[in-house]
Amino acid sequence: MKKNVKKVVLAYSGGLDTSIILKWLQDEYKCEVVTFTADIGQGEEVEPARQKAISLGIKPENIFIEDLKEEFVRDYVFPMFRANALYEGEYLLGTSIARPLIAKRQAEIAALTGADAVSHGATGKGNDQVRFEIGYLNFNSDLTIIAPWREWDLNSREKLLQYAQKHGIDIEKRGQKSPYSMDANLLHISYEGLVLEDPNKEPEEGMWRWTLSPEKAPDKAEIIEIEYKNGNPVKLNGKDLTPAQMLTALNELGAKNGIGRTDIVENRYVGMKSRGCYETPGGAIMLKAHRAIESITLDREAAHLKDELMPKYASLVYNGFWFSPEREMLQAAIDKTQTSVNGTVRLKLYKGNVITIGRDSKTDNLFNTAFSTFEEDEVYNQKDAEGFIKLNALRFIISGKNRKNSKGN
């Protein structure tokens, strides 16, 4: 039974799904619709969404289009990369990290406009429904959440196209073969569906929108230098950049050098396995560079503990728990380690590879040549290692003696 809804804020891209959802909400719920379009660097013009919304009867004052690129990278992407987060060892969480920001702003717009409901275009099979809705509930648990894919019978691209045609919804490429299911932002582009539903089939080369293939990348390596401050990249080749500018520049460098393509079968939070392909060129560079600067600035045990915490952190992000107290607790611990992560990293970009060729920190370098050199030194007594080894082996010595005694009996 449908709840009585007066006004709903829809996460609106202007594309096929959300344009149909907009019309469906008007018809099914008889409510006023507010559209919210977040520019988080998806690489497409967002202003056309305004005209599409107006053409579907949305009042100009109910159309919100906001540039959130700096907030997205500064407050979501960078904290995640300070954790070196990888889900299941491969996924750089490009879609996962965008949903909390959209959900937060959507709930804020609901409060601003007096809306009593929010709506999204995530399907009932995916992870995004969880990420969006946990976000909404975190900020306002009184909001009614409308998830059309869990209610309607428009369960295929073909039915959606028919609905659009019936209701006069202007959709680009209407009637053509259904495209891949894609999500794009400043961190990545994801692809699902079509040939990708067979995990044994190679992706079509024409699918990739962002990166050159490694085979077509330049034959000459490109050398770059990234400067870090408190675990965040702040300068590229000596030039100060804002967070969004930094990620944009690294995306361009990575894309032209064939960096950042991944083909993954992952475990969705809702239970099934899913095959997805991703392009994350700037993220792949940042992960390599960040681990390189940490290698000389983090204490051994702090670094190892941080690596142990990372899979839990990544799962929290993937599953939609960005605003949870446990993620915030982990973030506080991780960020404490980052106060010493300062310095520069030199990288070689070549045909899909990110190769570290240098790292230095003028203030926090724990690499001490006097101790680690293979040449003669005056600070390390190699004889000390004998007692160190024996103490570490003491439990094996004792258990070995017990085994020997038991055999003797």
183 is catalytic: no
Element (H, E) at 105: helix 99-113
Which one of 19, 39, 50, 99 is the catalytic residue?
Answer: 99
91: which DSSP letter?
B
Quick check: is 128 catalytic?
Answer: yes
Alpha carbons 261 and 112: distance in angstroms, whole number: 40
In the structure encoding, which two tokens stand for residue 9, read together? Answer: 């804020």
Catalytic pick from 13, 17, 183, 361?
Answer: 17
Annotated catalytic residue 361: no
Give the integer Cα–Cα distance in Å for 35 and 11. Answer: 6
> Amino acid letter at 199?
P
Name the active-site residue from 74, 75, 157, 181.
Answer: 181
Q: Which of 39, 116, 128, 183 is catalytic?
A: 128
The residue to which tokens 């680009």 are assigned: 172
How far is CA 93 from its chain centroid? 3
Q: In what order do the strands lie in the sheet with 222-229?
A: 239-240, 232-236, 222-229, 343-350, 353-360
Going by C-alpha positions, the residue among 319, 310, 192 that lies closest to residue 268 is 319
Phi/psi zone of residue 208: left (φ > 0), alpha (ψ -120 to 50 degrees), beta?
beta
Distance CA 171, CA 293 (A): 47
- Distance (Å, rounded) from C-alpha 394 to C-alpha 320? 46
| Cα 137 from Cα 285, distance rounded (Å) | 34
Which residues carry out catalysis? 17, 99, 128, 181
